[in-house]
Amino acid sequence: MEIELRDWSRDDAAWYVAQVRDPDILRFTTERAALTVAEFRRALEALRRNENALGFVAVATGSGERLANLAAQRTGAVVEVSYWVAAAARGRGVAGRALTELCRRVSAAWPGAEIRLWTHADNIASQRVAERAGFGQVEGAGGREVRGQAWPVVHYSFLATPPSVR
pLDDT tens, the chain, 166 aa long:
899 999 999 999 999 999 999 999 999 999 999 999 999 999 999 999 999 999 999 999 999 999 999 999 999 999 999 999 999 999 999 999 999 999 999 999 999 899 999 999 999 999 999 999 999 999 876 778 888 888 889 999 985 444 454 4
Residue 137 · residue 156 · CB < 8 Å: yes
Give the 3-state secondary structure of residue 141: coil
Give the 3-state secondary structure of residue 52: coil
Residue 67 · residue 89 · CB < 8 Å: yes
Q: What angle do CA 102, 107, 113 make, to 5 degrees?
A: 115
- Kindly list the structural domains of the chain, giving each domain's residue range(s) and its CATH number in brackets, ordered by start: 3-158 (3.40.630.30)
Instruction: Count Cβ atoms below 10 Å from residue 70 Cβ, excluding itself.
Output: 24
Sheet holding 153-158, edge to edge: 3-7, 53-60, 66-75, 78-85, 114-120, 153-158, 135-138
Q: Which of 103, 102, 161, 94 is nearest to 125 (CA)?
A: 94
Q: Residue 4: in which H helix or E strand, if any?
A: strand 3-7
Task: Note the pTM of the prediction, 2 decimals.
Answer: 0.90
153 φ/ψ angles, rounded to the nearest 5 degrees: -135, 160
How far apart CA 134 and CA 35 sit, in angstroms, is: 32
